[in-house]
Amino acid sequence: MQAPQTAMLLRIYTEEGRQAGHRPLYEDIVLRARERGLAGATVLRGPMGFGHSHRLHTAKILDLSANLPLVIEIVDGEAEIRAFLGELEAIGNIGLVTLEKVEVVRYGPGDA
């Protein structure tokens, strides 16, 4: 185990139906993060949620919208995350973005 390191967590709350050009928004963001060499990104799909419109999105069989909530989490150093925010602004309407300082502890050898 390595000593804890200070990092930043960028969290984007969005919907799976949003697009960035010809591809899903979440895919576009993760690929941009990878191209920039950021440490890591994960997309989490929520079975239920709502946003500023208060419209409920669910994974129930009767709701055929398939527009479930997504959370995209990206972790890296503060400078790298803040620089990446500029790319997010260029994309436009992505949803709610939050930042928080986190402590990263790596367990085990190698990269995950």
CATH topology of domain 5-104: Alpha-Beta Plaits (3.30.70)
The H-assigned helical ranges of the chain are 25-35, 78-91
Q: How many whole angstroms separate alpha carbon 33 and alpha carbon 48?
A: 26
Amino acid at 85: L
Q: What is the rounded CA–CA span in Å between residue 67 and residue 65? A: 5
> Strand, helix or coil at 104?
strand
Per-residue confidence in pLDDT tens, the chain, 112 aa? 566 689 999 999 998 889 998 999 999 999 999 999 999 999 999 878 777 777 776 766 555 556 789 999 999 999 999 999 998 998 888 999 999 999 998 766 665 5
Q: Where are the domains of the chain?
A: 5-104
List, as one string, the DSSP characters of 54-74: ---EE--TT-TT---EEEEEE
pTM assigned to the model: 0.84
